[in-house]
Amino acid sequence: MKWPRDYGLSMRMWLTMGLLLLVYLAFLTVLRSLGVGLGWLVLISVGLAFVQYFFSDRLVLLSTGARIVGPDEYPQLHETVGRLATEAGIPMPRLAIMPSPIPNAFATGRSPSHAVVAVTDSIHRLLTPRELEAVLAHELAHVKNRDILTMTIASFVAMIASLIMNNALFLSFGDRREGSPWLIAWIAAIVVWVVSSLLLRTLSRYREFAADRGSALITRDPEALISALLKINGKISAAPEERRRQAEGASAFYILPVTGSTLAELFATHPPLEKRIEALERIRMELGQGGLVR
């Protein structure tokens, strides 16, 4: 399935990745000029990126308590995902169920052939079949867009900055040279970590817009995703604070975050719900829909 491209969204994503690249090159140039040895930092960062990329599915399933389920347990879910995956032009992913009273969903895996799509065991009780299809299509769009690979590459040098930021004082203590460069490196790492975190969150928000668009194009029913997002958001808002805190660790993976940010929108991993709905409404007009198609 070939999707019509949103050139404005694509341009914003490429611009964000370009800015990340410039920040990273400047940071590496500063470290090199200071004579900071990068060998072990790169080695550790490569190791972390390797684990994040190749074992992302296992790590996320472990952190959320989700378990892989077969077609004998959830035949309708498998049938629906299989049909949507065919429509999206990707292999059938593995399916997982995570226990939670807060309805949500996520996708993980390093490639379409190693993907996992997970939903909470409570989502079936909240959403209609149409709405659940739209949510599943959103997650399959993440898989088709290879978002795990995108975010792993984008965050690589941010990991180096984080390592320096967390360990520079220890490293400077062991550095007997006069005028140790580690203090300057530490300040540079803080600046790079803050700037790159903002850019990574911006990229994450664009990926959510792209997955929403993918869902609408797979199902040709953006109204269903709008309805599903509103229902999920309402359920999250009504959930006890303790329940939301329990699920907060994996919030960035979910179709909707389980905790609202008290900081500026710049620090959010997801776009505001209102903007997502506005974008879906525009897609509905692009598809020439005067109403529901199904």
- Tell me whether residue 139 is one of the annotated catalytic residues: yes
Number of Cβ within a 10 Å radius of residue 275? 14
Q: Which two tokens stand for residue 200?
A: 């990574």
Q: 135 φ, ψ to 5°?
A: -65, -45
Q: Which of 139, 178, 242, 281 is catalytic?
A: 139
Query: Do 133 and 218 touch, CB atoms closer than 8 A?
Result: no
Q: Which two tokens stand for residue 79?
A: 């049938």
> Cα separation of 150 and 154, whole Å?
6
Q: 264 φ, ψ to 5°?
A: -65, 160
Q: The tokens 């949103």 sit on which residue? A: 6
> Cα separation of 220 and 214, whole Å?
9
> Cα separation of 54 and 205, whole Å?
23
> Cα separation of 189 and 112, whole Å?
34
Q: 263 φ, ψ to 5°?
A: -95, -175
Residues acting as catalytic residues: 139
